Structure 1
Amino acid sequence: MSYTFRALMGACAVGALATAAQAETITVATVNNGDMIRMQSMMDDFNEQHPDITVEWVTLEENVLRQRVTQDVATGGGQFDVMTIGNYEVPIWGNRDWLMPLDDLSDDYDVEDLIPSIRGALSVDDTLYALPFYGESAFVMYRKDLAEAAGVEIPEQPTWTQIKAAAEAMTDSDAGVYGICLRGKPGWGENMAFISAMANSYGARWFDMDWQPQFDSPEWTAAVTDYLDLMTKYGPPGASSNGFNENLSLFQQGKCGMWIDATVAAGFVTDPEESTVADNVGYAVFPNKEGVDNHGNWLWSWNLGIPASTQSPEAAKAFVTWATSKEYTQLVAEKQGWRAAPPGTRTSLYENEDYLAEAPFATLTKETMDAATPEKPSVQDVPYVGAQFVSIPEFQGIGTAVGQQFSAALAGQMDADQALSSAQQLTQREMMKAGYIK
């Protein structure tokens, strides 16, 4: 080996060591769902663009994720550089300076392409504090073949009475098919996301204009009674432990006649590689109670935020802009088809003919998101915003505690009246403690 060649090899080795020494490692905390797992499978593209950044993942079940990231960001712990958080947390944390503002995005990112309602939900004083990975509302997904065999028709805008009749007709316990699957796992973002939306569709509200909780109202009583009746008669066993992921799996396996949940699920129930019912899925608007002009549309997004405590702000920003860019959407489409593209964040996606042709749920998803009114979630006057949550810091604890009561009722540990009474008492106590009620 010549001296010159040995010298070059030595220089390359030194250069490689220097690059490795300069590489930054960022830790991303994310929720365990299909879209976030898919993102991890796309990392070759990010690594190629950013060889100087190493990404480590902490993937957690939804309730655990919320506990961990809330504790970390509130204490400035610095455990995570990027957090997967919802549009509930973003404005609250942004107001408290817990998140890094994202006010200097490049023209290539095209922030004007973000759907206005989603962009607004992630902004404080017109400054973004997180970038949306996907957005959603909620609707009915149902087995067209089962509905036809049972002789029932699910209209585009069903009432809860029609949903109950369809659930009864499609239930075949001997065959292991249940008429309806709904969330039962306790958590403010698990069962209470669904139950709050259902209550809204019955004309209920969390609080009156004096912040008095309303679980003793006839609207809440009707909503929770009907929810428990639906699930105990026509739902799967063990439903009090089922959240989004569990119901997704049941529906994909052909165990559910109907599933009312997040619109983002449509991309997975129609995936022929994962779903046994991919060719037989129909969609309808979230139901309403007869006489109530409210279809319970919720508005949610999973977003990537950067805690102010990060030691690697530029590396974290490079990651969140990559993962929420139009180029990432194109990457998913190239590798897994347009049906798999993250929905609900960019206007351009709903102007893309390829996406509209491949995703039969796209138009209704956009319509339900556009119809969501988080500024007025109930037909009654309310002092808060939030379609399936209440946008106050205390809701995280209150919503989970109330969800535990309703999950216990679903498990047969108490009846609807007892669950509602407990919800009323604990919510009133916490709101008094927080100073909302004098």
Structure 2
Amino acid sequence: MNLRTLLLGVSSAALLAGFANAETLTIATVNNGDMIRMQGLTEDFTAKNPDIQLEWVTLEENVLRERVTTDIATKGGQYDIVTIGNYEVPIWAKQGWLVSLDGLGADYDVDDLLPAIRGGLSVDGKLYAAPFYGESAMIMYRKDLFEKAGLTMPDSPTWEFIGEAARKITDRNADINGICLRGKAGWGENMAFLTALNNSFGGRWFDEKWQPQFDQPEWKASLQFYVDMMKDAGPQGASSNGFNENLTLFQQGKCGMWIDATVAASFVSNPKDSTVADKVGYAIFPDTGNGNHGHWLWSWNLAVPASSTKAEAAQKFIAWATSKGYTELVASKEGWANVPPGTRTSLYKNAEYQKAAPFAAPTLAAMDAADITKPSVKPVPYTGGQFVAIPEFQGLGTTVGQLFSAVLAGQSSVDDALAQAQTTAVREMTRAGYIK
């Protein structure tokens, strides 16, 4: 055997041994565009960490929440990294279900995280999840359709204007819906939007004594407005549409307006995916003249369940995926306009990003304006913009979401759905001990 053959044999054996000894991280994530893009770039991570392999479980948003919640609550240990929202992080951290992220590395620069985002992911000064992207909500609209209809988007649009504009730019013959809004049932799907909508109408989920408010005029006004507008100007089958479905409709030129997460802006303005990329304008979330623009604050984050036995390796991956270096990697492959937004202060000071992303300034303005301690013009005993930050909200929000989605589908009336929501909420809040 010559030296070259011997060396090749040794190196091959070492390589096989390396794979045999490699840790495999199982990562549960949502099927949003930014997360799909991340999976396509992970060779950069595995090349730098050959002792770590990755296994992906990519799920639709509602399914992800259900499976991850079940696994983490039962300490199942199925996942080493989970993708969760800023709703779950503080609740789960206080229950001891998450590992504090102390191993992100000296060069991670945790102080660069936007203060509002970092604060929502910390408990007692410790970070329990790292943000992959952050968002608020805003209007994305077709400037060409507005111009054709003789409309100008106001600096501070009201819902009355939005309703009129949606009906005016609807063109069923051309398959253009005046507006696309979430209708798919789920506490983080239709109820994220409808809670923000109700906040902007001056409503709230609970009063100061935790009494549900579905029997109050604000909920009747906001839900009726939504259902009527969607009937007149929304797409068919809207009760099945969530974030991803509406994104596709907008990219295909079938929506005149879409009011949803600011993170969508990079996808609707990307000419590779969007047929209307050069026609999109952005505006603040509407109000009813009361100054509450329904701003929400959300982040998709990577966290390590306490049941994982691979916390050290998991934190290495999280540090890579949420770092400044990852942002630069995406920029080099996809362009600055497509980097994950809403997590780091440095991004919004980056001249290249500002130049490439016309939505950067309105996104940051919306996130800065979000105040989760005061989601409504009326006093509330909870925090949260498009959700209520209590453990019971996950189940209750989904139940109410199903009731409201049925109204949009024509299977129930606004009055019946609100009555059922009130009865259900009173029962659940009493059972949980909030109502004495």
Q: 1:389 aligns to what?
A: 387
Shift of the alpha carbon at 1:7? 3.9
| Equivalent residue for 1:318, pick from 311, 316, 319 | 316
Shift of the alpha carbon at 1:15? 1.8
Q: 1:354 aligns to what?
A: 352
Aligned partners of 2:187 and 2:401 also within 8 Å:
yes
Q: Secondary structure at the match of 1:135?
A: strand
Structure 2 residue 315 is matched with structure 1 residue 343: no
Which string of whole-angstrom CA distances, capped at 9 and with x for unpartnered residues, describes residues 53-81 of structure 1? 11000000000000000001011101000
Q: Secondary structure at the match of 1:256?
A: coil
| Equivalent residue for 2:377, pick from 372, 376, 379 | 379
Letter in 2 for 1:187: G
Letter in 2 for 1:367: A
Which string of whole-angstrom CA distances, capped at 9 and with x for unpartnered residues, describes residues 277-314 of structure 1? 00000010000012x12000000000000001111111
Shift of the alpha carbon at 1:141? 0.3
Q: 1:115 aligns to what?
A: 114
In the aligned structure 2, how far is the partner of 1:126 from the partner of 1:433? Answer: 32
Q: Secondary structure at the match of 1:283?
A: strand
Structure 2 residue 111 is matched with structure 1 residue 151: no
Aligned partners of 1:78 and 1:310 also within 8 Å:
yes
What RMSD in Å do the two structures reach over aligned CA positions?
A: 0.9
Shift of the alpha carbon at 1:11? 2.6
Aligned partners of 1:156 and 1:283 also within 8 Å:
no
Structure 2 residue 96 is matched with structure 1 residue 68: no
| Equivalent residue for 1:419, pick from 413, 417, 420 | 417
Shift of the alpha carbon at 1:359? 0.3
Shift of the alpha carbon at 1:383? 0.3
Letter in 1 for 2:120: A
Q: 2:234 aligns to what?
A: 235
Aligned partners of 2:104 and 2:316 also within 8 Å:
no
Aligned partners of 1:141 and 1:282 also within 8 Å:
yes
Which string of whole-angstrom CA distances, capped at 9 and with x for unpartnered residues, describes residues 323-379 of structure 1? 000000000000000000100000000000000000000001000000001011011
| Equivalent residue for 1:405, pick from 403, 406, 409 | 403
Q: 2:87 aligns to what?
A: 88
In the aligned structure 1, how far is the partner of 2:363 from the partner of 2:283? Answer: 10
In the aligned structure 2, how far is the partner of 1:424 from the partner of 1:326? Answer: 46
Letter in 2 for 1:364: P
Q: 2:274 aligns to what?
A: 275
With 103-112 and 153-162 compared, the bigger mean Cα shift is at 103-112
Q: 1:16 aligns to what?
A: 15
Shift of the alpha carbon at 1:415? 1.2
Q: Secondary structure at the match of 2:139?
A: strand
Q: 1:433 aligns to what?
A: 431
Structure 2 residue 299 is matched with structure 1 residue 298: no
Shift of the alpha carbon at 1:93? 0.4
Letter in 1 for 2:170: T
In the aligned structure 1, how far is the partner of 2:271 from the partner of 2:6? Answer: 56
Shift of the alpha carbon at 1:5? 4.3
In the aligned structure 1, how far is the partner of 2:197 from the partner of 2:329? Answer: 36
Q: 1:175 aligns to what?
A: 174
Q: Secondary structure at the match of 2:411?
A: coil
User: Matched residues, percent identical?
Assistant: 64
Aligned partners of 1:182 and 1:261 also within 8 Å:
yes
Q: Secondary structure at the match of 1:380?
A: coil
Letter in 1 for 2:80: D
Aligned partners of 1:215 and 1:420 also within 8 Å:
yes
In the aligned structure 1, how far is the partner of 2:6 from the partner of 2:152? Answer: 78
Structure 2 residue 334 is matched with structure 1 residue 330: no
In the aligned structure 2, how far is the partner of 1:103 from the partner of 1:387? Answer: 28
Q: Secondary structure at the match of 1:181?
A: coil
Q: 1:225 aligns to what?
A: 224
| TM-score, normalising length: structure 2 | 0.99
In the aligned structure 2, how far is the partner of 1:410 from the partner of 1:91? Answer: 33
Q: 2:365 aligns to what?
A: 367
Which string of whole-angstrom CA distances, capped at 9 and with x for unpartnered residues, describes residues 212-261 of structure 1? 00001111111001010110111000000000000000000000000000
Q: Secondary structure at the match of 2:333?
A: helix
In the aligned structure 1, how far is the partner of 2:184 from the partner of 2:388? Answer: 19
Which string of whole-angstrom CA distances, capped at 9 and with x for unpartnered residues, describes residues 383-407 of structure 1? 0000000000000000000000100
Letter in 2 for 1:379: V
With 180-189 and 38-47 compared, the bigger mean Cα shift is at 38-47
Q: 1:30 aligns to what?
A: 29
Q: Secondary structure at the match of 2:20?
A: helix
Aligned partners of 1:192 and 1:399 also within 8 Å:
yes
| TM-score, normalising length: structure 1 | 0.98
In the aligned structure 1, how far is the partner of 2:226 from the partner of 2:5? Answer: 75
Structure 2 unaligned residues grouped into runs of 5+: none
Shift of the alpha carbon at 1:152? 1.1
Structure 1 unaligned residues grouped into runs of 5+: none
Q: Secondary structure at the match of 1:367?
A: helix
Aligned partners of 1:152 and 1:169 also within 8 Å:
no
Q: Secondary structure at the match of 1:319?
A: helix
Aligned partners of 2:284 and 2:293 also within 8 Å:
yes
Q: Secondary structure at the match of 1:344?
A: coil
Letter in 2 for 1:144: K
Shift of the alpha carbon at 1:9? 3.6
Shift of the alpha carbon at 1:18? 2.1
Q: 2:39 aligns to what?
A: 40
Q: Secondary structure at the match of 1:178?
A: coil
In the aligned structure 2, how far is the partner of 1:47 from the partner of 1:151? Answer: 53
Q: Secondary structure at the match of 2:424?
A: helix
In the aligned structure 2, how far is the partner of 1:7 from the partner of 1:48? Answer: 25
Shift of the alpha carbon at 1:6? 4.6
Letter in 1 for 2:67: R
Aligned partners of 2:104 and 2:318 also within 8 Å:
no
